[in-house]
Structure 1
Amino acid sequence: MTENREAAGHGRLSVVRAGTHPDGLTVLDVEGEVDHQSVRTLARAMPPADATATDRVVVDLSRVTFMDSSGVNALIAAFHATQAAGGWLRLVGVRGAVLRTLQLVGLDTFVPCHATLQDALAAGERGA
C-alpha cells in the first residue's frame, strides 16, 4: 500500500492507495484540500498518461473538503489516461462544495460519481 501525505496550503492533503488489485483496479482514498499547492500529491497517485497496468481507478473524495481547478484538471487527466488504457475512472462520496465544483465544470457528466465504493465497483463490473 502506498501512502502520500503532504502539507499544503492551509490544510493537509493525504492520498492513500487503499488497494491495487492484480486485475488493474486501484482505489485511492483522498483526504483534505486539493488546490494548486497540494495537487501534486493527488497527481502522483493517479495513473500516468501512458497507463497500462492501472487502468481502472476509484477515487474516494468523501473526505475532501475543498477542490479548485487544479484538482479538477488532475481528475480530467486521470480520466483521459484510464480511457486511453481501455479502463475507467469512478468517483466516490463527492459532496458539498466539491460536488458543486465538479458540477459547475460538468465533470460529473462524463466521470461517474457514486455514493459508495461498492456502488462504483458494481457499476464498473457492469461497464456503467
Structure 2
Amino acid sequence: MNETEGTLAISTHTHPAGPVVLRLAGELDHYTGPSLRRAVEDVLRSPGTGIVADLSDLVYCDSTGMTVIITAYHRAQAAGSSFSVGGLSAVMTQLFRVAGLDQIFPMHSSVQDAVDALGRK
C-alpha cells in the first residue's frame, strides 16, 4: 500500500477590518498540520493581531488537524490575539461540533461573520 501525503494550500491576507485571514484549501492532517502551525506563528509575530481561519475550502480534517487548530487558538490567546474559524461546510461544522471544538473556540458560518465578531470584542 502506498501512502500519499495530502495537500494543503494556505493563503494569508489582512482583512480591511484588521484581522489576518488564513485561508485553508485541501486537507488538514498529520502531513499538512505543520504548515498551518508555521502560518499561525508567522501571524503571531505581530502582537495583538486577530486571526480568522477560513475553512471554506477545507475538504478533510483528521484529529491531528483538529489538534493543530486547537493549538493555534491557544497560542493566539497566549499572545494576546484572538482566533476564530469561519466558512465551515455543513459536514465540517458537524465534525467539529461532535468533537466539541465549538466549546473551545468561536465557529462562524462565514469569514465575514468571524471578522464582525472580532470587531465586537
Per the shorter chain, which TM-score range? 0.7 to 0.9
CA drift of 1:86 comes to 2.2
Task: Name the residue aligned to 1:90.
Answer: 84
Give the whole-Å Cα distance in 1 for the aligned partners of 2:92 and 2:69: 12
Which structure shows the bigger proportion of residues in strand conformation?
1
Partner secondary structure for residue 94 of structure 1: coil
Give the whole-Å Cα distance in 2 for the aligned partners of 1:32 and 1:100: 18
Number of residue-to-residue matches in the alignment: 117
CA drift of 1:97 comes to 3.5
- Note the 1:34-45 alignment, pairs <5 A: 34-45=28-39
**Among 2, 8, 12, the residue aligned to 1:13:** 8
Give the whole-Å Cα distance in 1 for the aligned partners of 2:7 and 2:81: 30
Deviates more, 1:93-102 or 1:118-127: 93-102
Q: Deviations over 1:70-119 (max 9, x none)?
A: 11111111111111122211101112432233112211122111122221
- CA RMSD, Structure 1 to Structure 2 (Å): 2.4
Contact 2:53 2:85 in 1 (8 A): yes
In structure 2, relative to structure 1, the CA distance for the partners of 1:116 and 1:97 (3 Å cut) is closer
Contact 1:13 1:33 in 2 (8 A): yes
Percent identity over the alignment?
31
Task: Structure 2: state its 5+ residue gaps.
Answer: none
Whether 1:116 aligns to 2:110 is yes
Task: Name the residue aligned to 1:28.
Answer: 22
Give the whole-Å Cα distance in 1 for the aligned partners of 2:13 and 2:51: 11
Report the AA paired with residue 24 of structure 2: V
Normalising by structure 1, we get a TM-score of: 0.78
Dislocated runs of 4+, deviation >3 Å: none
Normalising by structure 2, we get a TM-score of: 0.82
Structure of higher RCO (CA pairs closer than 8 Å, 6+ residues apart):
2
Give the whole-Å Cα distance in 1 for the aligned partners of 2:118 and 2:53: 13
Give the whole-Å Cα distance in 2 for the aligned partners of 1:51 and 1:108: 26
Give the whole-Å Cα distance in 2 for the aligned partners of 1:54 and 1:70: 26
